[in-house]
Each structure stands twice: as C-alpha cells, then as structure tokens.
A and B are shown apart, each in its own frame.
Chain A
Amino acid sequence: MPRKILLIAVLILCFGVKAKEKEKKVTAEEIIETMTETLNPEQSEGVVEMTITTSSGRERTFVYKAYSKNGGEKSLMKYLEPGRVKNQSILMLNNADDIWMYFPGTNRVRKLATHAKKQKVQGSDFSYEDLGSSNEFEDDYSSVLLGDKEKEGKLCYKLELTAKENSNAGYSRLVVWVEKESYVPLVIDYYHEKDPELLEKELILSDVKTIDGIPTPMKMVMYNKLDNTETSMNFRELTYDVDLPDDLFTEMGMKK
C-alpha cells in the first residue's frame, strides 16, 4: 500500500513537473497567436464610444457601430454620432489593405490607398491600421519572450516584438504585457518607426469582462506620447454570438 501511494506521488510529481515545463515552454509566438485569437474572435458586433482628448484638453466624442468577420480580416464602422459624421461608414477588407469610405451627403464611396492606413481615424490616436488590421502582430513582427512581469497588478508575459525587414509595420518595435490567465494584453508600448528608443504611443487595455465566453477588454486608451493627446474607446455593447453575412462587408452594406 505505501508503495502504491509512493508510486502515485511520484506520478503526480512527474506530471506536475511536466505541466510546469509545458507552461514554461510557451513560446513568444504561441503567446502572440493566442493573444491575437483572443482579441479577434471570428465575428463581432458592437457599439463603440470613442473620445479624443486633444493636447489642449478639449474632447470630441464619436459613437459608431462596429462589425467584424473572419477574425477581424473584414471590418465595418458606421458612425452614429456626432451629426457631422452621422451615417458615414468605413469598410476595411484584407486587414485594412483595402479601405473604402462612404459619404452619405453625396452618396459617394471613395477608395483610400494604403498610404492612408497609418493616418488617424477622425483625428484620433488610432490609425485605420490599428482598427482594421488583425494580423499585424504575427505578420509584421518577430517576437521574443522577456519573461514574467507584473503589470497593472496582474501577472503577465512580457514580450518584445521587433519589426521584420520589408514588413509594413508602422512601428520599429512593440513591448507587450499579456495577462497570463486570459491572454489579454494589458499594455502595449509602440516605439517610433525610425527610432526604436522613442516611445510614440502607449495602449492601456482594462475592464476585462467575459463576453460570450471570451475575455474582452471593454476599455482601451491610447496615449500619444509625442502629441500629448489620448483617445479612449469604450464598448457600449458587444457580442460575438452573431452570424454576420458577407454582404454586410460590401459597398451596398456600407450604404444600408
């Protein structure tokens, strides 16, 4: 009997060690892959409130309906407020490589070239690429795990992502803190495209809630360290339990 107990104890110990080894062996690429999947569920539909705080402290608030499909590869934004942009919409396909804007006043759809990807959306600190690209972390950057660090009071993986050569990365490197439990990034530091030591933006993600089984940061604040501005995004409504038709992500879908 004691030998049996000893055997079980040894087995538990072995499996425990193996499990720990497995946990330790999580690679930077696996973390980024899981994080990207967590941030970009297959489909989503929500209402977002975006507040821009300018360097002079003045605020501008936009409310838009947001739809995404294929893990964020397709996305559509339809403005609800304020009046000056009401009913305008932005369609982004192929991870924001193709962008169209719809202006209801003239019923005109305008295609934007990719040089517009890095531009601010409605003067915010988010670019079209930030809002419409779901695969940039994996495709444009190579990642290194720097270890476990505590950030915002949570135990996180700390990773450094460096822009790959000949990629379309908008930044030279990123430092990302990913919460170990949920794989939600809590902080992302963006370093300037031409100066890897110059911190350009910092994104803080918070208020993590489980929506349809997926941990989701309901609030995101982007701080622009160079312009001294900030933009917050809050989900007023959000669901992943939707079946969005492909027709929504078309010119006709933009106008409807």
Chain B
Amino acid sequence: MKGRVFFVVVLGFTVIPVADAGELDVFGYFEPQFIYLYQNGNSYQMNSDKLRIDLKSSASNVEFGADVIYNLYFGKKSWDILDFLPSEIVDEVPSGMRSYFRYTFNDTLYLDNVYIRISNSRIACTFGKQQISLGTGYFSNPVDVFNLKDAMDPTYEQTGHNGGRLDVMLLNRTSVMFLYSPIESDWNNSGKLIRLKVGLGHFDFVLTGYEFQDKLTDFYSVSVTNERRRLTGCEFVGEIFGLGIWGEGAYNFMETSDDFYEILIGSDYTFESGLYVLLEYHRNERGETGYEDYNINDWLRFYLGESKTIARDQLYGMISYPLTDLIGLQLMSIVSVSDGSSAFIPVIDYNIFENVDLNIMGNIYTGSEGRVYNSKLGNGVVLRARVYF
C-alpha cells in the first residue's frame, strides 16, 4: 500500500509539472526535541528527532502536495500508561491485561499528507490525505472529530485525513464544503460531511453536519463498539465591544449509546502593550461531573483519543507577551472545573536565527491523585528547536 502511495506521489510530481511546466518546491523542517519528566520520584528523559519534508508542485489549476515525516526516538521509549493512572483505577485492571497498556515509541516514517487539488477561482476539489481542521476554538473543537488537540500544545500540527473534498464558493463570504471520508468500501459507515460558511458583518457563521462511524472501547470487557454518529454543529467568530468572541457547539445523535453535546465559547483581547489574553470554556457532556465518577473507561478513552475529556467542564486561559521582537512569553493554564485540578504551562518562544525557532515549555500539574490534572502525571520540561529549510 505504501509503495502504491509513493508511486502515485512520484507520478504526480513527475508527470504534471512536465505537462504544464510547473515547479517542484521542496521545504520543511528538522525538529529535535528533548523531554525531561519528573514523576513519582523518578527522572526520565526522552528525545526525538523529527524530519518533515514538504513537496509541492503547482501547475495552473492543479496542485500536488505531500509531506513525509521521519521520527526517531531515544532515551526512555517504552512507557506504561498505568503508571499515570490513579491507584484505584490501576487496581481495577486484571493482571493478565496489564501488558496491553505498555506503549513503545518506535521510529516511524510515514506520509503525513498527500493530495491533489484541482481548482478554479470558485471551486476546489481535493483528493487524498489532507489537513482537515474545523472549528473556531483554540484549545479544543467540539465540531472537529478529525483531530484531537493536545491541550498543552494546541497549535501543534496534526496528521492528515483521507478523503475527497469539494469546496464551492457561492458568494465572496459564503462557501459550502462537502467531504467524503471512505472506510473500506462501505458507503454507510464512511464519513460524509457538509459545511456551510457565511460571513455577515464582522462575524463568520458555520453550520456543519457530519455522519461517520464512531468507535468506543469498553476496557472492562475489552470490547469495541462501532456505531453511527451524526453530528450537527454550529460555529461563530466575531467581536463585541472590541473583544474577540467565538463559540462552537455540537450535538451528537448516537446510534446505540446516549446522545451528547459539546460546547465551547471563547474570548480574547490584545492590549496596547502587546499583552494578549485568551479565555475559553469547554463543556463535554460525555465527561464526568466529579472525580469520584472517573473510571478506567474515562481515563483510557481519553488517553487513546476516543474521548476529548475526562471531566465535563474545563476552563482554558492563555496570556502571551512579546518580550522583544524575537522572544515571546506565554503562560497557559487549564482547569478541570469538575474536580478543581489544574495544569500550568509556561512557554518561551525564541526566534534565535532567521529560520530557527527555539521553544521551551514546562508543565506543572497541581491536582491530587485521582483528579484529571494530578501530580502523578509528572512535571517536566520540553525543549524543542525547529530548523526550517
């Protein structure tokens, strides 16, 4: 399969540019990263080297794009997820199943995105593995079931998704998007999305409908349930009295399990000094209302990306300030309102050279064991450099 994809990519980059005298643009970055973690009295380090190579070729109305990512890992590569869970949850795991919760970071080489886009001024068709980002939220997106943002690093890039996409611009600020995301050859279970975006005054509004197959694992019985999920969502972004405001909400009609909703509202403001403040509130009805209710399903579904949160209500805040033209300071905080725990993430961004960014990020968890942001998760620091070429 990988060989076939590479063949298609090579063919695309070879044939189309020759056919229409397009150019192949090669760019990307190298990203070494060092992670230090202090957890339960032990110190760990894990390093990684990431190389991303982007290829882009455009010829009149046809564009080919792809990027390949190569990840190498060093240091502590094998982790036991149970080490991060509360003791009472770990006690529930049958001893015979414990080996299932070990995870090893293996070196990887993969095609992150590979697509062809055919477009004119009002219509764009994109086929292949491509970036799909929905929603107006900063740290979480209720209408986006394609990506799971890391609340500690919400703007970090996401991997692409397979699909065929059609964007049609109806008016200058009105567009409609259709997406078909195939699952094997089953039309019924494949993802089908429609999204209407309208600009009115200083506001943008979006309506989304998405039907797809949702997977949920029961870790007590170790069984996986696949069911049809129909998401209806709406979004807005604009401003009131000089404050930036946005919001998004999604109601999910489930085939067998309980329906649930998810909402997010946010606001931001930039002061004259350059100080930027952002605040978001997120509610996920699937989350639990108190830490006493957290069970192994809540924790593991969250870690495996099947659920966006463990707790029902969360607050996210960010303050950033440009210390100089090249150095930016940030402090992010996420609070689990449902259990009172919180995490703080101080960040320093430094554009050390023209094409080199240095990023130092800490994480401090304040909650006691059993809460979402508990100190058992370990406090640490991430040192990341990114060299663009």
- Please give, as numbers and ranges, the residues of chain A lying within 8 Å of B173 by CB-CB distance: 250-251
Number of interface residues of B (CB under 8 A): 47
- Please give, as numbers and ranges, the residues of chain A lying within 8 Å of B130 by CB-CB distance: 107
- Please give, as numbers and ranges, the residues of chain B lying within 8 Å of A250 by CB-CB distance: 169, 172-173, 175
Contact in complex: B354, A61 (CB < 8 Å): yes
Which residues of chain B in 252-311 are interfacial with respect to chain A, using CB atoms and an 8 Å cutoff?
A: 268-270, 272, 274
B389 within 8 A of A: yes
Question: Which of A83, A108, A246, A251 is close to B389, meaning CB atoms less than 8 Å apart?
Answer: A83
- Nearest B residue to A119 by beta-carbon distance? B270
Which residues of chain A in 12-62 are interfacial with respect to chain B, using CB atoms and an 8 Å cutoff?
A: 52, 54-56, 58, 60-61
- Please give, as numbers and ranges, the residues of chain B lying within 8 Å of A97 by CB-CB distance: 202
B22 within 8 A of A: no
Contact in complex: B270, A116 (CB < 8 Å): yes
Contact in complex: B388, A115 (CB < 8 Å): no
13 A–B pairs (Cβ distance < 8 Å), ordered by A: A83-B29, A84-B351, A107-B132, A111-B246, A113-B244, A118-B272, A120-B274, A250-B175, A251-B175, A251-B197, A252-B119, A252-B122, A256-B124
- Please give, as numbers and ranges, the residues of chain B lying within 8 Å of A120 by CB-CB distance: 274, 322, 325
Of B173, B238, B270, the most chain A CB neighbours within 10 A belong to B270
Task: Pick the 10 closest A-B CB pairs, nearest first.
Answer: A113-B244, A83-B388, A107-B131, A247-B121, A113-B239, A123-B325, A108-B133, A115-B270, A54-B325, A84-B388
Q: Is the interface of B mostly helix, strand, loop or mixed?
A: strand
B243 within 8 A of A: yes
- Nearest B residue to A224 by beta-carbon distance? B325
Chain A positions near chain B (C-beta within 8 angstroms)? 52, 54-56, 58, 60-61, 82-84, 86, 97-98, 105-108, 111-116, 118-120, 123, 193, 227, 229, 245-253, 255-256
Chain B positions near chain A (C-beta within 8 angstroms)? 27-29, 119, 121-122, 124, 130-133, 136, 155, 157-158, 167, 169, 172-173, 175, 197, 202, 204, 237-239, 242-246, 268-270, 272, 274, 322, 324-326, 351, 354-355, 357, 386, 388-389
A193 and B271 CA atoms in complex are apart in Å by 13
Contact in complex: A115, B243 (CB < 8 Å): yes
Contact in complex: B167, A252 (CB < 8 Å): yes
Given the known interface contacts A60-B354, A111-B237, the answer about A123 and B27 at a Cβ–Cβ threshold of 8 Å is no
CB of B28 to closest CB in A, whole Å: 8
Contact in complex: A229, B121 (CB < 8 Å): no
Contact in complex: A84, B239 (CB < 8 Å): no
Question: Which of A82, A119, A246 is close to B354, meaning CB atoms less than 8 Å apart?
Answer: A82
- Please give, as numbers and ranges, the residues of chain B lying within 8 Å of A227 by CB-CB distance: 325
A56 and B351 CA atoms in complex are apart in Å by 13
Given the known interface contacts A58-B326, A247-B122, A247-B169, the answer about A83 and B270 at a Cβ–Cβ threshold of 8 Å is no
- Nearest A residue to B239 by beta-carbon distance? A113
Contact in complex: A82, B133 (CB < 8 Å): no
Contact in complex: A84, B386 (CB < 8 Å): yes
Of A58, A115, A118, the most chain B CB neighbours within 10 A belong to A115
- Please give, as numbers and ranges, the residues of chain B lying within 8 Å of A55 by CB-CB distance: 324-325
- Please give, as numbers and ranges, the residues of chain B lying within 8 Å of A229 by CB-CB distance: 325
- Please give, as numbers and ranges, the residues of chain A lying within 8 Å of B131 by CB-CB distance: 105-108
- Please give, as numbers and ranges, the residues of chain A lying within 8 Å of B274 by CB-CB distance: 119-120
A151 and B28 CA atoms in complex are apart in Å by 47
